[in-house]
């Protein structure tokens, strides 16, 4: 219970994970115009963005069958959402994604995470992957309010391919999921913070967010949690 109060292992829905709190109390009042959902799955997070803000949402989901569910679920918002059946990573190209139809949220480009006992990604599909830098450049994007990155252990690769975006566009808010996956990828929360030197770090609880020191061992626990990086200026 102590870890859950701090913001760990609250994963059952958007309210428990703190997503609803963040979108309603922090993001929406900032009047975002452009939001990017990397790892959109079937659209639960994008749906809250669309309902509770006026932003245009760019939703990336690489698994073809999951992408079709995403597009079907959010079809009524077509004037405010761009559906991208692509992954996001460190280079443009084709990569294999591993997934299970029974647990679409666990799909990942990182085969290392099969070491996690609840991961059963037995199927594989070759899909297109782009860098966030190349995507933003090709679409003339010069201003981004929010980026959510939930790529089941592939977050460091997304960061590598977004270095220019983070440096030059500097989104107001960047969210990542931090979990057991990072143990097998040998990355820490402090690693991600070092890639974003002009940002403060906050951890979501179900009804709050709390500023954290990314160098603190208690901030680097490999247990489901969501962190928001907030631009300082």
pLDDT at position 92 is 98
Going by C-beta distance under 8 Å and a sequence separation of 6 or more, which residues neighbour residue 5? 205
**How many CB atoms neighbour CB 142 within 10 A?**
10
Which DSSP helix (H) or strand (E) runs through 126? strand 123-130
pLDDT tens digit sequence for 148-169: 999 999 999 999 999 999 999 9
Residue 99 DSSP symbol: E
Q: Give the predicted TM-score (pTM) of the model.
A: 0.96
Q: Is 96's pLDDT higher than 80?
A: yes
Calpha distance 162→164 (Å, rounded): 6
Residue 1's pLDDT band (cuts 50, 70, 90): low
Domain extents for the chain? Answer: 2-231
- Give the tokens for residue 44: 């639960």
Calpha distance 62→39 (Å, rounded): 8
Residue that is written with structure tokens 């030059």 in the block: 168
Query: 2-231 has which CATH code?
Result: 3.40.50.150
Q: Is 116's pLDDT higher than 70?
A: yes
Q: Is 229's pLDDT higher than 80?
A: yes
Calpha distance 230→146 (Å, rounded): 10
Closest C-alpha to 116, from 105, 106, 101: 106
């Amino acid at each position: 219970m102590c870890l859950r109060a701090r913001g760990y292992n609250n994963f059952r829905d958007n309210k428990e994970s703190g997503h609803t709190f963040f979108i309603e109390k922090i993001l929406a009042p900032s009047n975002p115009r452009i939001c990017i959902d990397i790892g959109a799955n079937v659209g639960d997070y994008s749906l809250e963005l669309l309902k509770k803000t006026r932003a245009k949402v760019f939703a990336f989901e690489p698994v073809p069958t999951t992408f079709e569910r995403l597009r079907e679920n959010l079809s009524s918002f077509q004037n405010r959402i761009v559906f991208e059946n692509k992954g996001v990573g460190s280079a443009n190209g084709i990569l294999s994604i591993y997934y299970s139809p029974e647990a679409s949220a666990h799909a990942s480009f990182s085969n290392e995470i099969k070491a996690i006992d609840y991961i059963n990604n037995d199927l594989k599909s070759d899909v297109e992957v782009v860098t966030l830098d190349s995507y933003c450049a090709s679409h003339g994007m010069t201003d981004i309010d929010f980026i959510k990155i939930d790529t089941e252990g592939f977050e460091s690769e997304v960061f590598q391919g977004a270095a220019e975006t983070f440096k030059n566009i500097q989104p107001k808010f960047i969210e990542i999921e931090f979990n057991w996956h990072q143990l097998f990828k040998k990355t820490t929360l402090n690693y991600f913070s070092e890639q974003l030197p002009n940002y403060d770090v906050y951890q979501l609880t179900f009804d709050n967010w709390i500023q954290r020191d990314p160098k603190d061992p208690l901030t680097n626990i490999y247990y489901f949690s969501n962190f928001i990086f907030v631009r300082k200026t």
